[in-house]
Amino acid sequence: MRPAPARPPSTTFRWADTPARYGLISRGFHWLMAALLIWQFLIIGLWQGVGDTPWVRAVTALGPFHVTIGLYTITLVTLRAAWAAAMRHRRPPGAPGWQGRAARLIHGSLYALMFTIPALGLLRAYGSGKGQVQWDHQLIPATGIEIPWMISLADAVHGEASWLMAVLILGHTGVAVIHGLKRDGVLGRMAGR
């Protein structure tokens, strides 16, 4: 019997990461979180820029609300971090030198902020004593007892950390565009060819 001819390397997309590119799961997490955060900043910008008008309510009713996006974000970033840890030896290598260190610092900061910001919102909900109902379930118990330090901490950090995350996201996007213009293959790892 003749051995079967060798199959050419698969050009189909892989679920897991490889040293050449991020897999479908990593890309899915990245772009789903990008869409959620764009929507979050859009609705916050509308509320702060235009105010609570019927028009703004109509626009924000087209997608998930602020708290819902926060819950999706904290869930997805936890899953994404677990997936990244599982794929850590399979992922594309980072850039050498200061660029690689800067990229790791920015990515780590984004992960931390995507977890911390919604966690502060949940802390505020608990500290207010009012609790939080989500999807017809009591997510945070309504204790009726206000805990001032929880409210103060969340109020002092939640919004400012969100703007810091927005700046980091803009920087991340700008660097991605530069990589795309340089055609060095870095952008294609996450965005495709």
Q: Taking the domains of the chain in order of start, what are their residue ranges?
A: 24-191
Q: What is the pTM of this model?
A: 0.80
Mean pLDDT of 166-178: 92
Q: Spell out the CATH class of 24-191.
A: mainly alpha
- Residue 116 contacts by C-beta under 8 Å, 6 or more apart in sequence? 157, 161
**CA–CA separation, 21 vs 29, rounded Å?**
14
pLDDT score at 8: 45
Digit-coded pLDDT (tens) for 52-90 = 888 888 888 888 888 889 999 999 999 999 999 999 898
Please name which of 134, 159, 138 lies closest in space to residue 40, comparing C-alpha atoms: 159
